[in-house]
Amino acid sequence: MVKKEYREVSAKLTWQAVYPDRTINQYEKDGRQNSYAKLNREDMTAFNLINEKGEVVVNVPLGENRSLFYRMRVALLVASHCRERVWIVGWRKTDGSMRIWVVDSKGNVKTYRNFKENSQWLYAPEFSVFEEV
């Protein structure tokens, strides 16, 4: 039996955590991957999504009691054997206000103020303990 591989049809993005004294990239120069779950969110001043040219496509400013969230959602398109990724990143505050950036598979960026429950991509995530406000 031949295993069918899914062809990636998404923009190639990585994250970057910015602190007052340093920056942590998703991948080190030697290829090792840093863990998003292990990031210190208390001192983080910004969280960026970077394209393959090294350009910042989304800058999420933090501070002011903003809690960071980040998700990469994946759809497998069975008929075309493609994998499509969408990135959702943003902040939210205890007063319920939030800002959400969505980067689609082509690299287009849209900004929203709320999640949309009946959306393919923009439904609210289950927030982990370190993402609570």
Question: pLDDT (tens digit, 9 = 90+) per residue, 25-55?
Answer: 999 999 999 999 899 988 999 999 999 999 9
Residue 69: Cβ within 10 Å count = 22
Q: What is the pTM of this model?
A: 0.85
Q: What is the Cα–Cα distance from 127 to 105, expressed in whole angstroms?
A: 23
Q: What are the structural domain ranges in the chain?
A: 7-121
Geometric angle at alpha carbon 111, from 33 and 36, rounded to 5°: 15
- Residue 71 · residue 101 · CB < 8 Å: no
Q: Calculate the CA 84 to chain-centre distance.
A: 14
Torsions phi, psi for 131 (to 5 deg): -105, -5
Q: What is the Cα–Cα distance from 54 to 102, expressed in whole angstroms?
A: 18
Question: pLDDT (tens digit, 9 = 90+) per residue, 49-101?
Answer: 999 999 999 999 998 889 999 998 888 777 778 788 889 999 999 898 999 99
Q: What is the Cα–Cα distance from 19 to 39, expressed in whole angstroms?
A: 11
